[in-house]
Amino acid sequence: MREQEITAEWSGWDGSGHELLTLGFETGGWTADGVLTGGDDIHYVVRLDERWRLRQFLLFRDLPEPDLWLGVDEQGRWGEVNGAHRPELAGCTAVDLACTPFTNTLPIRRHRIEVGDHAEVLVARVDHETLGVTPERQRYTRLAPYRWRYEDESGFSAELEVDDQGLVRDYPELFRRLV
């Protein structure tokens, strides 16, 4: 068991699908382990340092080995486990996986801003179906102690309710927190 271990579960807004997330602190950083079933059957692992800076992202779909394995070093250089450099992701400080609400926690935890302030974030957006990864600008505005507005480049916007850990409770029309 990891230190400070937390579990969370979500379903789709309409009750479809299920995600079980385990988050905990180990070996000097945070590890998030998410398993999605009932539609998008995938497993992802996000490794962060003690200050919530992204270090690794792994995505498993139907193989015991990762289908996608990204890493970012202390200087912000991105690459794949096979050694391929990903210079187009330079400046990305988080990863966004649309099939889970967890990746919204990364900017929320990393950018501890006051109510009324916002953070502009460049993320590596992962398409879990094609394994494509592209940079995307997002904005997080803190509306209240447990309420945030998320906006992306496409013009999509949502108000997210979070708990004490920054984990999404409800993401209207997309995800509903079960536990």
Per-residue pLDDT reduced to its tens digit, 87-103:
999 999 999 999 999 99
Structural domains in the chain (count): 1
Task: Choose between 126 and 111: higher pLDDT.
Answer: 126
- What contacts 102, CB < 8 A, 6 or more positions away? 8, 19, 21, 32, 34, 46, 167, 168
Per-residue pLDDT at 131 exceeds 90: yes
pTM for this model (two decimals):
0.94
Q: In the structure, what pLDDT confidence band is assigned to residue 1 with cuts at 50, 70 and 90?
A: low
Q: What digits encode the pLDDT tens for the residues 81-91?
A: 888 899 999 99
Q: Give the closest residue to 175 by CA, choosing from 96, 100, 95.
A: 100
Q: In angstroms, rounded to a whole number, what is the distance separating the alpha carbons of residues 82 and 95?
A: 19
Q: pLDDT value at position 145?
A: 96
Task: Choose between 1 and 103: higher pLDDT.
Answer: 103
Q: pLDDT value at position 81?
A: 84
- CB 158 within 8 Å of CB 174: yes
Q: What digits encode the pLDDT tens for the residues 17-62?
A: 999 999 999 988 999 999 999 987 999 999 999 999 999 999 999 8
Q: pLDDT value at position 83?
A: 82
- CB 58 within 8 Å of CB 72: no
Per-residue pLDDT at 147 exceeds 70: yes
Q: pLDDT value at position 57?
A: 98
Domain of 11?
3-177
Residue type, 59: L
Q: In angstroms, rounded to a whole number, what is the distance separating the alpha carbons of residues 65 and 84?
A: 17
Per-residue pLDDT at 11 exceeds 80: yes
